Structure 1
Amino acid sequence: MTTAAVTTTIDARYGEPGAEPMSWPETEALFASAPLYWVSTIHTTGRPHVAPLVGVWHDDAFHLTVGPGEQKALNLVRDPRIAVTTGRNDWDSGTDVVLEGAAHRVTDHDALTAIAAAYFGKYGDAWRFEVGEGGFGIADEFAWVFRIPPRKVLVFAKQPHGQTTHRFG
């Protein structure tokens, strides 16, 4: 559970009468349990770059892995701003969540070991990582790990429709 100060509000302009804000613990659990995420970064040309990937919520932040030569990595090195989205493509059911923050590389061996364990705990053998020097794996299989603590999280609930905002700091 996040230990940072969280301010939660609901924006009545974007919801139905009677919609209640989703609490941060509920939002955090929903986001953490998602099997797939879409990350939006800023391409070196300034245009958006969006890609699906797996990731884990660990130690009050979202974590993702990416090869050093992938577009996502190049974008994050240049500009760490990122949005991470998960949810359903249904209009009348489910809940969508958007996390906004800044990505920072994780290179500490103990932190990487804990993040690798979180991936294994969530995804099993399909996402078992070996910790290398400054990331996961070695040689052609090497991946950087990024940590994205939330600055703002938007929750788009359905039935009833409502927009909750969680702000951190």
Structure 2
Amino acid sequence: MVRPTRERIDRRYSDERAEAVPWTDTEARLAAAEVAWIVTARPDGRPHATPMVPVIHDGKVYFHTGSTEVKYDNLQVNPHVLVLAGDTAWDRGLDVVVEGTAVPVTDDALLRRLAELYRGRWDGHWLLDVQNGAVASERPDIQVVVFEVRPDKAYGHAKGDPFGQTSYRF
């Protein structure tokens, strides 16, 4: 499991009573997200954000996309991403930001495990069929690729009283 090497409350953005949010709570919040956002950068530097259903496994975030999608094209040029999970509530909850690098998953055993995890996330929709280290696609013109986000930094934004920002480094 990927664990942060450093976890600290950032006093610049936190109430004086706030304490660091343990990484286990931050990871659980991300794992519970029905939808998260993935932010990539277009080749000209402009951002692109789109919702996705995250799967958390061994401390890493996974998502999949088709080879005809904007995020796929963006990742071919720049693999650096943001993963965002949270809600619009002001006075309760925990928002999560993960900065990392997205790399394609080709390990057959890992892909099969992720397909099992997605089966539970999608409530029977978007079943992933893994064959020979790749996800089979219903359309021959579209390749489905699963990406693993290897975290560099993460932030947990605790909302409410007390509010606080916890920084994590990997």
TM-score, normalization: structure 2? 0.92
Runs of 4+ in structure 1 deviating by more than 4 angstroms, as ranges, are none
Q: Could you tell me which amino acid in structure 2 is paired with residue 61 of structure 1?
A: K
Match of 2:128 in 1: 129
Match of 1:58 in 2: 57
Change (3 A) 1:5 1:153: closer
1:50-96, Cα deviation, whole Å (9 max, x unpaired): 11111200122100000012110011111100000000112112111
Unaligned runs of 5+ in 2: none
Taking only aligned residues, the RMSD between alpha carbons, in angstroms, comes to 1.5
Match of 1:164 in 2: 166
SS of equivalent residue, structure 2 residue 61: strand
Match of 1:143 in 2: 144
Q: Name the one with the larger helix percent.
A: 1
CA distance in 2, matches of 1:103, 1:70: 15
Match of 1:16 in 2: 15
Bigger shift: residues 5-14 or 36-45: 5-14
Aligned-pair distance for 1:22? Answer: 0.4
Kept in 2, the 8 Å contact 1:132–1:138? The answer is no
SS of equivalent residue, structure 1 residue 127: coil
Q: Could you tell me which amino acid in structure 1 is paired with residue 158 of structure 2?
A: A
Kept in 1, the 8 Å contact 2:118–2:127? The answer is yes
SS of equivalent residue, structure 1 residue 125: coil
Match of 1:47 in 2: 46
CA distance in 2, matches of 1:134, 1:77: 19
CA distance in 2, matches of 1:161, 1:5: 21
1:29-66, Cα deviation, whole Å (9 max, x unpaired): 11111110011101011100111111200122100000
Tell me how many residue pairs correspond in the alignment.
167
Unaligned runs of 5+ in 1: none
Change (3 A) 1:78 1:134: farther
Bigger shift: residues 76-85 or 89-98: 89-98
SS of equivalent residue, structure 1 residue 149: strand
TM-score, normalization: structure 1? 0.92
Bigger shift: residues 138-147 or 159-168: 138-147
CA distance in 1, matches of 2:122, 2:65: 16
CA distance in 2, matches of 1:55, 1:133: 23
Kept in 2, the 8 Å contact 1:10–1:164? The answer is yes
